[in-house]
């Protein structure tokens, strides 16, 4: 047996896909269950990034098994996600902190006027 029919390919791919789905599900549950914006950002970013990593590795394994050579094209998605996801998370967290500081400063200003 060669290609995707081989259990040496099918079993790791299935395990990676299930792990990726579960990690993404846990991140999504964190979005619903966690109390603050910062905690929600952490849960979603970690869960989705790790889940996506497992799914992309499974994609590389399947593509390589079908072509019977190493096919690294899906790894470009990983590079894009690794570059953009932290930058987006940092910008959202900074906006959240700026908003919280502005709100607390406005609250202090109202207390000193009265």
Which alpha helices (DSSP H) does the chain contain, by range? 7-33, 37-67, 75-113
For residue 26, the enclosing domain spans 3-113
Q: Is the pLDDT of residue 112 over 70?
A: no
The Cα–Cα gap between 81 and 87 comes to 10
The Cα–Cα gap between 2 and 68 comes to 8
Categorize the per-residue pLDDT at 14 as very low, low, confident or very high, splitting at 50, 70 and 90: very high
CA torsion through residues 82, 85, 89, 90, sign:
positive
pLDDT tens per residue, range 24-73: 999 888 888 888 888 888 878 888 888 988 999 999 999 999 988 999 88
CB contact at 8 A, 31 and 43: yes
DSSP state of 114: -
How many distinct structural domains can be found in the chain?
1
pLDDT tens per residue, range 69-88: 999 888 888 888 878 888 88
CB contact at 8 A, 92 and 41: yes
Enter the tokens of residue 31: 């979005």
């Amino acid at each position: 047996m060669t290609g995707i029919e081989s259990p040496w390919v099918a079993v790791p791919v299935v395990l990676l896909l299930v792990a990726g789905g579960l990690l993404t599900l846990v991140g999504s549950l964190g979005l619903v269950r966690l109390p603050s914006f910062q905690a929600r950002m952490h849960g979603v970013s970690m869960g989705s990034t790790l889940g996506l990593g497992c799914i992309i590795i499974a994609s590389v394994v399947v593509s390589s098994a079908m072509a019977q050579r190493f096919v690294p094209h899906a790894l470009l998605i990983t590079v894009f996600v690794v570059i953009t996801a932290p930058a987006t998370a940092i910008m959202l967290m900074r906006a959240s902190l700026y908003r919280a500081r502005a709100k607390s400063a406005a609250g202090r200003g109202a207390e000193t006027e009265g």
